[in-house]
Amino acid sequence: MQTATSLTLRQALRHKIDNKTKPLGALGRLEDIALQIGLLQGTTDPQLVRPHIVVFAGDHGIAATGLVNPYPQSVTAQMVLNFLSGGAAINVFCRQHDLGLTVVDAGVNFDFDTVSLAGRLVTKKIGYGTRNYVEGDAMTSGETIAAIEAGKEIVTDLASKGCNCIGLGEMGIGNTSSATLIMSYITGIPVDECTGRGTGVNDEQLKKKKETLQQVFRLHLPAIAANPDPLTILQHIGGYEIAMLTGAYLKASELKMIILVDGFITTSALLLARLLDSHITDSCIFSHCSGESGHTKMLKYLGAEPLLQLGMRLGEGTGAAMAWPLVQSAVNFLQEMASFESAGVSKGGDI
């Protein structure tokens, strides 16, 4: 429900947008983004300050079985080291667009040299990967809560340094399977229709992945159906990095930060966060539609319209980084573009 104050602000923003030297609506989605950010920040003069990407990394017990992924679990740690040495796609895009980057060890099955990596790796390790949810719960209740709180702490720290725009990414071999189960439990879409190829499985592997995830879904359904809240879902079939993403979303929304939503796994965490904060999508800009098949259905469920359609399905926050210049352009035109009055240009109704 709109208050009188928010309605007045909306009208003021709309007036400012419509009186730029352009036909009404000529900047399309950029106008919608400018309006959204102005409303979120409560001003007709919004600012983007110290934009940042956070990549949460964690391992999944099921990945060690080879049932759902063609890559070994050790790739998670290898990719974290790649992030830290600046060699991954997210590093390239953050450098290109002048975005800050934080890499978080949420629960990687590896002992990083925290001394030599001090200042480059944020250690919030809850455990050395989750347990195999084919056999039981992925996490304990305490681990789930600790991971959510750690995600909140990361965002709180960035906000204390002035950051008001954040993109969230992830890394974790096997985490598309966890995201698939989360999506199915929350949306009610059958597991088979939510399951995609993840990190490049072939047809035979995809069939095995679907069979395995259907088995997992049935195993945990009674407990989740009895108590279908986000913490229960995470405890049974989640990941440390997905739980931290959930906490990060919640804190960023609370702090009225602009949130750039990335792809399939990060959107699964948003589904969880939305159950706890029904207004969270007011803060969200959906960067792109992932090439992972279930992401289109996720976005439709959320009523979200992504900015980009590039067929990307890498994760790491890369979609959020690619969308950043569009967000920047939306605020810049609102701030810097001349009005009809200031430029001395006649509006259509003046001639």
Q: DSSP assignment of 318-337, as one string?
A: HHHHHHHHHHHHHHHHHHHS
pLDDT at 7: 82
Contacts 24+ apart (CB under 8 A), 303-312: 304/261, 305/29, 307/29, 312/263, 312/288
Q: Which residues contact 201 (CB under 8 A, 6 or more apart)?
A: 68, 69, 70, 209
pLDDT digits (tens, 9 = 90+) for 26-55: 999 999 999 999 999 999 999 999 999 999
Residue 163 banded pLDDT, cuts 50, 70, 90: very high
- The full set of domains in the chain, from first to last, is 52-332 (3.40.50.10210)
pLDDT at 264: 97
Q: Are 158 and 308 within 8 A, CB to CB?
A: no
Strands (E), 6-119: 52-58, 100-107
Mean pLDDT of 189-212: 87
Average per-residue pLDDT for the chain: 94
Active centre residues (catalytic):
316
Mean pLDDT of 108-126: 94
Integer Cα distance of 97 and 94 in angstroms:
5
- Does the pLDDT at position 114 exceed 90? no
Strands (E), the chain: 52-58, 100-107, 121-123, 165-171, 258-261, 284-286
Q: How many CB atoms lie within 10 A of CB 120?
A: 15
pLDDT at 115: 84
The 3-state DSSP class for residue 231 equals helix
pLDDT at 237: 98
- The helix, strand and coil proportions of the chain, stated in percent and rounded to the nearest 5, come to 55, 10, 35
Is the model more confident about 344 or about 239? 239
As given in the structure block, the two tokens for residue 321 are 């980084």
Mean pLDDT of 114-141: 95
Mean pLDDT of 271-275: 98
Phi, psi of 276 (to 5 degrees): -95, -25
As given in the structure block, the two tokens for residue 177 are 């399977």
Residue 350 banded pLDDT, cuts 50, 70, 90: very low
Phi, psi of 318 (to 5 degrees): -65, -35
Mean pLDDT of 101-120: 94
Mean pLDDT of 195-224: 89
pLDDT at 206: 86
Torsion angle of alpha carbons 190, 192, 193, 199, nearest 10°? 130
End-to-end CA distance of the chain: 39
- Does the pLDDT at position 207 exceed 80? yes
- Does the pLDDT at position 349 exceed 70? no
Give me the percent of the chain exceeding a pLDDT of 90: 86
Residue 333 banded pLDDT, cuts 50, 70, 90: very high
pLDDT at 351: 41
pLDDT at 201: 78
Give me the percent of the chain exceeding a pLDDT of 70: 97
The 3-state DSSP class for residue 351 equals coil
Residue 202 banded pLDDT, cuts 50, 70, 90: confident
- Does the pLDDT at position 1 exceed 60? no
pLDDT at 13: 97
Integer Cα distance of 158 and 166 in angstroms:
9
pTM of the predicted model as reported, rounded to 2 decimal places: 0.95
